[in-house]
Chain A
Amino acid sequence: MMSKLCSVKETRSLLLAGKTLILAGEEDALDQLPRGKWIAGTIPYFMTSDGGLLTKEQIFVTEVPEFVINQKITYYNETAIKRVYEDGYEKGFTILIIPATSKTHFTFALRAPSFPEFASKPLIGWISGVDLADLGKVSPKIYNGANAQKETDGAIGIHCQLPPNKEADIGIINIFSQGAGDVIEFPADGFSVTDALINGKKQDFADYLTVNKIDTRYPLVSDYSGAMINVSFQKVDVSAHHVDLYAPVFKNLKYKLATPIEDYVAGFNSELEKLDATDIFFSCNCILNYLYGKLEGKKTKGFVGPITFGEIGYQLLNQTLAYLKIYGN
């Protein structure tokens, strides 16, 4: 299974040879590709075998293996995205890319657990983004290679069917865990918060974070039956009594602030040591981990792929490394 950075020329050659590719790269690079069997999202940050890297010239290429029996590329708009789980093959996997801050991004994040057949088949993916220097100036994009069209909204997915001797499964690596502090709940689902229930008592959440000098590089963490799922902080505006988040919080879920991490790279590598990376077909890691963990130039053992504005492991994730394994004879 091939996953690596390639030049535009190398990527073109693979497409012209009839390969089916899942791509990540800068818009200028992706714009140079011919029509073919590919999907892509924009991002210039990558985990590579040589370490974290920002490049605007190269494209991260994941080649769909020859053993895949069938594949279908589907574009979903904000309404159709609810079909994404049921559209997957009964035995297979789906890779999905959604542009950051698009309507579909928010719809998927908030509503995916209510979509038909949610979590019933392996669905992994990522939220496309831009160079952080271009935030607010350039829109994240997704591409459907079949018509070489790029979009700033919707989602592009590739559903792949596996042969009987292969299995696919998703895992996540989250170096954060719930701290021992307050239990935090929210009165409504959403990416923006005004009030929160802190140990059952209503408080202005921006005030709470500020007064308690909370380091918002570390996320809120909820315990999903043993899986630690993060919600990362985007902005705390005390004067507006507003906290913006990179993923939604959900009413009736209990959150805690994460235990601070002293050494990101050591934290990741400690978790990665426990895993066999040989069967990894696809992985992605969060831009916040890249930034806060200063991962540029640093290696995350055996795990390569795009650094993203959000990860998808059945549902939207934050500050998490998500991976898909394909194994079997």
Chain B
Amino acid sequence: MSSQPESLRPLTDPVWMQLISGQKNVDLKFLAAKILLTSQKLKYSLHPSDDQLKKSAEQFRDLYLKRGHLPDAKRDIAQYFRREK
């Protein structure tokens, strides 16, 4: 497998919402992502609506837009999309 990370897929990719809803679980490396993902999953569990799911997914993806170049973040991104290769 290539060591290069996947480029960041758009918000329309189902993976982002699957991560928030808990349909997809991965072993994260990036501390900011671990904390943000848990807080967004918590928000969604308290307010389970399509709107909240989209907002939470967007905020989580935004973290990688800003900091996706960091080594731990790159590893996470690769994990999110690994099985779809």
Contacts and interface: CB of A to CB of B under 8 A. Distances in A.
Interface in B22-81: 27-29, 31-39, 41-43, 45-46, 59, 62-63, 66-67, 70, 72
B62 A120 contact: yes
A121 B66 contact: yes
B31 A172 contact: yes
Interface in A272-328: 313-315
Interface in A212-268: 222, 224-227, 229, 250-253
Contacts of A171: 31
B38 A225 contact: yes
A119 interface: yes
A171 B31 CA distance: 7
A169 B33 CA distance: 12
B42 A314 contact: no
Contact of A253 (B27, B33, B42, B72): B42
B74 to A, nearest CB: 12
Interface in B2-39: 27-29, 31-39
A162 to B, nearest CB: 12
A225 B32 contact: no
B37 to A, nearest CB: 5
Contact of B32 (A119, A251, A252, A253): A119
Nearest to A313: B31
Interface of B is mostly: helix
Contacts of B33: 225
A118 to B, nearest CB: 7
A293 to B, nearest CB: 23
Given A251-B46, A252-B42, A120 B35 contact: no
Contacts of A113: 39, 42-43
Interface string A189-225: 0000000000000000000000000000000001011
A118 B36 CA distance: 7
A226 B45 CA distance: 18
Residue in A90, A170, A224, A313 with the greatest tally of chain B CB atoms within 10 Å: A224
A90 B46 contact: no
A224 B27 CA distance: 11
9 contacts: A120-B36, A167-B70, A170-B31, A224-B34, A225-B28, A225-B34, A252-B46, A314-B32, A314-B35
Interface of B: 27-29, 31-39, 41-43, 45-46, 59, 62-63, 66-67, 70, 72
Given A118-B39, A119-B35, A314-B35, 9 more contacts: A120-B67, A171-B31, A225-B41, A227-B34, A227-B35, A227-B38, A314-B31, A314-B32, A315-B35
